[in-house]
Structure 1
Amino acid sequence: MVDADQTFVIVGGGLAGAKAAETLRAEGFSGRVILIGDERDHPYERPPLSKGYLTGKAERDSVFVHEPAWYAQNDIELHLGQPVTAVDRDARTVRLGDGTVIRFDKLLLATGAEPRRLDIPGTDLAGVHHLRRLAHADRLRHVLASLGRDNGHLVIAGGGWIGLEVAAAARGYGAEVTIIEPEPTPLHRVLGPELGQLFADLHTDHGVRFHFGAMLTEIVGQDGMVLAVRTADGEEHPAHAVLAAIGAAPRTALAENAGLALVDRADGGGIAVDASLRTSDPDIFAAGDVAAAQNPLLHTRIRVEHWANALNGGPAAALAMLGRNVSYDRVPYFFSDQYDLGMEYSGWAPPGSYDQVVARGDVGKREFIAFWLREGRVVAGMNVNVWDVTEAIQKLIRSGAAVDPDALADPSVPLESLV
């Protein structure tokens, strides 16, 4: 029974944590809600860090989930700039970096992920950057503007979503950009070769240079500043700044030290949670990038590092903390904006999980929908510069219905009619 005597603690000051706190109050929870974040900024959303805010099209204040006054107005106790150093499951407490100990009745771990680091010489140079936090975006925005003014070169290690979005932002400022990517196309492990080339062509058309099938081996500098990068095949590329965009690792140290069940890194890593986002401890939950959840729709465990998962997962975990029946079966969703290309992706189609890709529309003009099929059933869809179709795509995925590939490819056939 949830009542005013209970204390719910949320560790993680991102979107998942903030939306969980909002949901607890919206659902009438009258106990203490304590939100702890290791950054000094109020909870914010991450997509603008590589999109609107980084490009200069959005103001800094636009990234925040709530106005600062909202937390006091809703009696949310904030501890900002305070890392949680330990979770004591027996005592039902968390310890903060300053030694403060806080008791909890229910605990939500929304600790997110952290950028993977390049393990090569030269990463200590001043011009090496990561993009995960608002402070990173603050610095990188100034760097890109400076590179644009001075005809400077940015080298990006990694051709994933962050790498490509930063490349687009950098070209918008006028900077020279080279992307080093070990796979044969960008986004190879997400979209496969069928669609990865589309993004290679998009960026090449905007002046980005690619070096595929290569890995950075050294960042060369002088007087603490970046001068160039070298790759395993002996190539050297000029660079005044380097962005490491080689993925993110779930921040599981707190959970691991507390003895909670984790998922092997080979299987995506993260804190293992059930369909209600409950960990191996019945009073501890996890949501957002750090949670590897058993998805009832996909019949598998999956960890999703995207905005929609934090937006929806935080509230789902809050409802579960309140004792509600929760089955978190969302279709994974993410979006990207690069130059004049906007796209949305729904579903889950890792390499080897599909046997056909069907396109509807004009791929050459970058106005189309791509569908990934397994045994005639849609498992994922991506709409590129085609809008208001996400709901229909997700219905197709949820239905599990076999579809006629020819009808799927025919723009004159309404998607809704295929369910």
Structure 2
Amino acid sequence: MDADRGSRFDAYLHSSFISPMRMHISIRSKWRNPRMSLLFTPVRIGRLELPNRLVMAPMTRSRADDETGVPTDLVPTYYAQRAGAGLIISEGVYPSAMGKGYVSTPGIETEAQIAAWKRVADAVHDRGGRIFMQLMHTGRISHPSLLPGNAQPVAPSAIRPAGQTWTAAGQQDFVTPRELSVAEIGDIVAAYGASTRRALDAGFDGVELHGASGYLPEQFLSSGSNTREDAYGGSVEKRARFVLEVLGAMVAEAGADRVGIKISPEMNFNDVSDATPQQTYTHLVEQIDGLGLAYLHVALFGTPVDYHALLKPLFSGSYLLGGGLDYAKAEAALESGRADATVFGSAFLANPDLPVRFQQNAALNTPDHATFYSGGEQGYIDYPALGDA
């Protein structure tokens, strides 16, 4: 993909991104002694016991067949290479075809998609890893050319977002979405539940709701994109209803200890905004806490508000902290009690053996920005591990 699309994703998909340059590897001739660190201690996340506290972030890679939404044969290798993570969270996967927002992104709706994802889960498990599937309905952040029958994207309100999405024909302006009816909202909630069941049938250890990045759940949460006057809009309580109903449907299928949620307050990505974000997210997390979820994943980018300090005391489950981390920042977050596990994006993208590199204090591969969404092997499964150099 060209740099324009990459720039739209950098803020949240590739939090440890290094400026585009030639991929390279530089390994010290003598490794230091393995680090003694909280990062390499076990932690319980829901029903899983993780061997370390390094979580691989969900990152769009555009390696699915665009017509079918089926992950290509490269995808099992990509995730298996990174099975040393305490937990892998997959790229965003649309729960139904109307949730697709970008070219060459995968779904979990058809039998062919389920079968392909089963190969991914099996490959990760064969390497001793654990993997959750992130469910991502993009709502208004889409384009008719990406949707069945050239349908209009859907949203809580018919408000056109500023910006563009990447289609098979290149970048296209967002369009004015169609406002969902109450009955249609119920259908989408049910689709999240059904896709949760399909993810489990494919062998995934659990599921994460993508509640950030300006996609459908955050569109309902945020006053700037939700101007409804019914049970799903207006007050903070009503704007949070969609997210809570979706989580309820996912929990009903998987059990609360196999369900997580990602949020990113005040990231303002994809033209989403909220007039009272601290109030909104405080209320949301207070309500989520009662569900007994496996984890709350909070990634912060650019906000001056310390939402980790605000939200972690409100959540009694495992707290996953992400956004701009390196080794030292992650270790400090664990030592201070601000997190139970830490989430890394492009560091895992470019370093399939990231936990080993951190333990050995080895240099890291540099992410190759030009191949983030390009398709094919280059910049996807060809980043070398230490033993390959």
Question: TM-score, length-normalised on structure 2?
Answer: 0.31
User: Higher RCO, 1 or 2 (CA under 8 Å, sep at least 6)?
Assistant: 2
Question: TM-score, length-normalised on structure 1?
Answer: 0.29
More helix by share: 2
More strand by share: 1
Max Rg structure = 1
